[in-house]
Each structure stands twice: as structure tokens, then as C-alpha cells.
Chain A
């Protein structure tokens, strides 16, 4: 079981807005930044969102992040077929003194 909890799957049609949740605790999400990674099929993960809601250069503003208490969310608006991928949340965990990941959410674009 992963320390951070994500739904295993999510789906949407092109143009829709979808959100992916990530639930943790006070030792990780509650007191630290949240990061999101996108992993396209057969490729290495890519940093998508850092420090809760910041986008690295090149990441479209269709992707946004938020946090409330011990939970975080990734929102994707204007869904496109190329967004079909696995998405992982992560945070530093003060109790474990290390990075923890969610189990990943497989996003399907119908």
C-alpha cells in the first residue's frame, strides 16, 4: 500500500475537465509541498506540477494543482488524447524522512 492514496483510474472525454485526488497525512501533504508526475506509456516520469501549483516551463496551463489540509488535487482542463497517462502525486514525509508517492492514477481519454 502506498503512503499517499490516489484513485487507481480516472477518465474523461476530449475537452472535459478531470480531477485526480491525492490523500495523505500531516506528516506529508499536511506539512510539505506536493508534486505531480506524468508518466506516458513506456516512458520515464516527467515533473508536471511542483510546490503544489507551479508548472515547469513547457507544461500547458491546462494542468493545475491545489492542496487543502492533508489532500491535494490535480486538475486537467480541456482534456486531450495525449493526456492519457499515469499520474503520480508525491511529497516529503517527515516521519519517514523520505519521499512518498501515491499509487498512481491511470487516466483514460475516452
Chain B
């Protein structure tokens, strides 16, 4: 059974940094492309970015609002996906979900999400 468990969320001040983790199990993590999606309180879904598997070059793509501030990485030896968030803004407040990215069924499996609150 595919399981994705996010962690690392919390309360931070504007300008600070935070790193989220997503522990994966139930599938061959090293073969998977992975993605982050966020959802501001009471709002809709917003794609954050994705990372390809290493055999596909391990490249990353980001949405415009986070490009240059957020970095997606992976540690295949630990079956873990990361989201490094720097220069956080109030508008980054959201529940952050990690999700698998299948070329046929993107965002197929989702974690339960972790809440990031950016407030002074």
C-alpha cells in the first residue's frame, strides 16, 4: 500500500526558512517522480513543483510564486522527498501535500499534508 507521510510543518516568521519532509513507502521511491501541492486555508489547490527520478536526470520544475525560494530534493536511500522553503512569505501559509507523479496519472497518491503558517 502506498503511503506518504509529510512532516516538518509549523509556525515561522516572514523571511524565515523551513524544510518539509515526505516519507514514502509501498512503492519503489527511486523510480518515482514526485510533486508538492499546497492549499491555503479555505482555498483551492496550487501546484508547487515536481522532481523527476534520477534516471530521468532528477530535474525539478517550480511554479512561478515559489521559483527561486523553494527547492525540491530527494534522498532515494531514505525514500524521502524534501521541500526546502526559504524567504517565506505570509502568502505561503498553507497545507503542503506531497504526491506521486505518474506520467499517466499525475498526482495519483497524496499524503495527509502538513500545515505551514507564516506569521509575525
Contact = CB atoms under 8 A, between A and B. Distances in A.
B61 A97 contact: yes
Nearest to A45: B110
Contact of B107 (A47, A98, A104): A47
Interface on chain B toward A: helix, strand, loop, or mixed SS? strand
Give the interface size class of chain A.
20 to 34
Given A88-B44, A101-B47, A45 B107 contact: yes
Given A97-B61, A98-B62, A51 B44 contact: no
A63 interface: no
B106 A35 contact: yes
A6 B57 CA distance: 35
A68 interface: no
Given A44-B110, A50-B106, A51-B104, 11 more contacts: A2-B44, A45-B110, A47-B107, A47-B108, A86-B44, A90-B107, A97-B61, A98-B49, A98-B62, A99-B47, A101-B46
Interface of A: 2, 35, 37, 39, 44-47, 50-51, 56, 86, 88, 90, 92, 96-104
